[in-house]
Amino acid sequence: MSQGFAPNEETAKAGQTKPPLSAATDANSIQQQWESHFAELEDPRGSQGVEHPFLSIVMIAILAVIGGATGWEDIETYAESHEAWLSTLFSIPNGVPHADTYRRLFERMAPEALERCFLGWVKQIVESSGAQVIPIDGKTIKGSYDRNAKQSALHVVSAWASEHRLLLGQVKVASKSNEITAIPALLKLLDISGCIITLDAMGTQKEIAREIVGHGADYVLCLKANHPTLWAEVTAWFEQAEAGNFTALEHSYDARVESGHHRREHRQVWAVPIAAMGDLHQIEQWVGLKTIVFVKRVRHLWNKITRETMVYLTSLPCDAAMAGRAIRTHWGIENQLHWVLDVTWGEDKSRIRRGHGGENMALLRRLAISVLNQETSKKRSLKQKAKRASMSPDYMLTVLAAGLAT
């Protein structure tokens, strides 16, 4: 697997940013390294009537989506606008492909194969990092339903590397199923040893906790009324303990105040070891469970004050600050991924739904976000980075080069 460019003497020094890449040799090197990540993909087309090289179609689609393309016509427009430049990178003997060519290819291409290539790229970014928080959450692509074909909207479960702001993997939730079955399948794709996995209430299941611990990771699971007996017991215990100011009770406490976006949030976190809480309903069935965490949030908005108390089960030791950071980080998948997908790439409005097209396009969008997050020379929003990449081939190369760095 390619490990990126060898740094020269000037750029090897810590803290220095890489100079812009403009030489043809650099462009060719970037193109070759990116193509190497997708070399194992199999062309689903037959041998007859093929006018465009397979990898050229795939790579042009990736570049267009990095530039903000939301559909097949957008990809065609991007390719036509940069045909002269693209011809220096890829083999396009018959000109750039039309929109239907991209559509037919991605409808037929196996999403599992595309994801394996994606994970190969991700591995080079994160393999040298230590433990990190990995939120796992699902998202429905609302516009992908097909009423005539009685096809429900596509729902995918994603794992997000909070430290690097990139997608680690995604799994499609099967029709007539839910996230409970998709999460274990996603975990099997990932190397999560030493990491902290955070899940919302849907993923708070005994089998999923066992799976996470079996992979050498820790978990933080949100407990709600879908486990009614345990939830009622621990919330009653917390109300009584808080009323007594946790006097003579073993616990860890942390408090934070954060301000931003016209709101102020006061967060209190209590971590209590399981042994201090007495006999709880089927508590021994939660493999690795060490601590129960209580989080109390008071949000001061411009027009109202909201209060919320949440409960979490975790295999982490009794450390309120550590648990609080992991819980706070979980929302990164909503703010850094799901929100961006809808606002910048219009995912919820996407009507791509035939064959594997919807799932493959969903993966391309997440790849685009992950690549753009690696480029840090421009202090701009992802939307502005995508626009610049769509307009400037030089900046597109900068983005691609940042994605190859380790």
The residues, ordered by sequence, that sit 6+ positions from 41 with a Cβ below 8 Å of its Cβ are 54, 55, 58, 109, 113, 114, 117
Whether residue 245 contacts residue 268, with contact meaning beta carbons closer than 8 Å, is answered with no
Nearest Cα residue to 363 out of 1, 41, 28? 41
Percent of the chain with pLDDT over 90: 65
Which H or E run includes 366? helix 357-374
**Residues 53-69: tens digit of each pLDDT:** 999 999 999 999 999 99
Q: What is the mean pLDDT of residues 312-323?
A: 97
8-17, 125-134, 172-181, 274-283, range with the lowest pLDDT: 8-17
Cα→Cα distances 333→34, 66, 295, 309, 336, Å: 26, 19, 19, 21, 5
- Residue 203, both tokens: 């993923």
Whether residue 170 contacts residue 159, with contact meaning beta carbons closer than 8 Å, is answered with yes
112-126, 267-281, 379-393, range with the lowest pLDDT: 112-126
Nearest Cα residue to 91 out of 62, 57, 56? 56
Nearest Cα residue to 41 out of 142, 149, 114, 125? 114
Q: Best-predicted range by mean pLDDT among 35-39, 73-77, 136-140?
A: 73-77
**Residues 293-311: tens digit of each pLDDT:** 999 999 999 889 999 999 9
Flag whether pLDDT at 3 surpasses 70: no
- Residue 3, both tokens: 């490990």
Which residues on adjacent β-strands are paired with residue 272? 292
Q: What is the reported pLDDT for 236?
A: 96
6-10, 80-84, 297-301, range with the lowest pLDDT: 6-10
DSSP annotation of 111: H
Report d(CA 69, CA 63) in Å as an integer.
Answer: 9
Flag whether pLDDT at 4 surpasses 50: no
Q: Which residues of 274-328 form beta strands (DSSP E)?
A: 291-300, 305-314
- The band of 405, judged by pLDDT with boundaries at 50, 70 and 90, is low
Radius of gyration of the chain (CA): 24
- The band of 175, judged by pLDDT with boundaries at 50, 70 and 90, is low
The sheet with strand 166-172 has its strands ordered as 166-172, 154-161, 133-141, 196-199, 218-223, 305-314, 291-300, 263-273, 252-260
Flag whether pLDDT at 147 surpasses 80: no
CATH superfamily of 124-338: Transposase Inhibitor Protein From Tn5; Chain A, domain 1 (3.90.350.10)
43-47, 108-112, 176-180, 330-334, range with the lowest pLDDT: 176-180
Nearest Cα residue to 40 out of 102, 104, 125, 120? 120
18-22, 50-54, 287-291, 372-376, range with the lowest pLDDT: 18-22
Q: What is the reported pLDDT for 142?
A: 81
Residue ranges per structural domain of the chain: 24-109+375-404, 124-338
In DSSP notation, 53-108 reads -HHHHHHHHHHHHHTT--SHHHHHHHHHHTHHHHTTTS--TT-SPPHHHHHHHHHH
Q: What is the reported pLDDT for 381?
A: 92
Flag whether pLDDT at 275 surpasses 70: yes
- The band of 131, judged by pLDDT with boundaries at 50, 70 and 90, is low
**CA atoms within 13 A of residue 271's CA, in its CB half-sphere:** 23
- The band of 335, judged by pLDDT with boundaries at 50, 70 and 90, is confident
Flag whether pLDDT at 12 surpasses 50: no
Q: What is the mean pLDDT of residues 146-166?
A: 83
Q: Which long-range contacts (CB under 8 A, 24 or more apart) does 337-345 make?
A: 337/158, 337/160, 337/167, 337/366, 337/369, 338/137, 338/139, 340/369, 340/382, 341/139, 341/365, 341/366, 341/369, 343/383, 344/68, 344/382, 344/383, 344/386, 345/65, 345/68, 345/70, 345/369
Q: Best-predicted range by mean pLDDT among 27-41, 157-171, 384-398?
A: 384-398
Torsion sign, CA atoms 201, 114, 194, 287: positive
Nearest Cα residue to 289 out of 272, 313, 270, 318? 313
**Pick the residue with more confidence: 5 or 132?**
132
DSSP annotation of 361: H
Flag whether pLDDT at 19 surpasses 90: no
**Pick the residue with more confidence: 142 or 39?**
39
